[in-house]
């Protein structure tokens, strides 16, 4: 990295040697080069300081861009999931669920926590932590009501 930056600096200095001080350019590297060639010894910076400045700006820009892209993808993905969840929970046509009739265009919510604590599916000891209930599979653990097993809610 250091050698690459030194090469860029060298090329810019060679270009500036042909022209005037303005040939350093108006970008950040040009400003650093002007500081390197300052007539005042107290304000002048070394080549190593130039390289360190360029590395700092490069990595800061890289990390900022990386972070912005990561958050953009995260929010975009979250928006899609919310939209998909809303579309999955809307009843498009009238549906009969045993004794209950759900009209078209109604949003239905499934109380996951209530289902996972229903004694009808899990037995009277539903409040007890018993991982061994699953030894013989989900169907046996839920009294043959495998739809009651929602380990990650209703999924995406």
How many Cα atoms occupy the beta-carbon half-sphere of 26 within 13 Å? 0
- Along the 156 residues of the chain, how does pLDDT read in single tens digits? 889 889 988 888 888 888 765 678 888 888 899 898 888 888 899 989 989 988 888 888 888 888 888 888 777 776 666 665 555 777 889 988 888 898 998 888 777 778 888 898 888 999 999 889 889 988 888 888 877 887 765 554
The answer to whether residue 121 sits within a structural domain is yes
Please check whether residues 81 and 15 belong to one and the same domain.
yes
* pLDDT given at position 80: 65
Q: What ranges make up the beta strands (E) of the chain?
A: 90-91, 95-97, 100-102, 106-107, 151-154
Q: Look at residue 146 and tell me if it is in a domain.
A: yes
Q: Cα 115 to chain center, whole Å?
A: 31
Asked whether residue 99 is assigned to any structural domain, the reply reads no
11 & 79 share domain: yes
d(CA 16, CA 20): 6
CB atoms under 10 Å from CB of 24, counted, come to 21
Q: Are residues 80 and 44 in the same domain?
A: yes
The answer on 116 and 77 residing in a single domain is no
Give the domain extent around 32.
2-87
Asked if residue 94 is part of any domain, the answer here is no
* 12 in the same domain as 59: yes
Q: Is residue 143 in a domain? A: yes
Query: Is the domain of 11 the same as that of 70?
Result: yes
* Domain-located, residue 105: no
Domain count, the chain: 2
């Amino acid at each position: 990295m250091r050698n690459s930056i030194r090469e860029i600096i060298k090329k810019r200095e060679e270009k500036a040697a042909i022209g005037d001080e303005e040939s350093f350019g108006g970008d950040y590297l040009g400003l650093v080069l002007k500081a390197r060639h300052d007539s005042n010894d107290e304000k002048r910076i070394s080549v190593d300081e130039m390289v360190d400045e360029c590395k700092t700006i490069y990595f800061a820009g890289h990390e900022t861009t990386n972070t912005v892209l990561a958050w953009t993808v995260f929010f975009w993905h979250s928006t899609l999931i919310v939209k998909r969840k809303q579309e999955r929970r809307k009843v498009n046509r009238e549906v009969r669920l045993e004794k209950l009739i759900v009209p078209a265009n109604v949003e239905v919510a499934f109380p996951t926590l209530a289902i996972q604590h229903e004694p009808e599916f899990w037995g009277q000891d539903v409040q007890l932590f018993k991982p061994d209930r699953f030894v013989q599979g989900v169907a046996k653990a839920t009294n043959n009501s495998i739809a009651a097993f929602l380990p990650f809610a209703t999924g995406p």
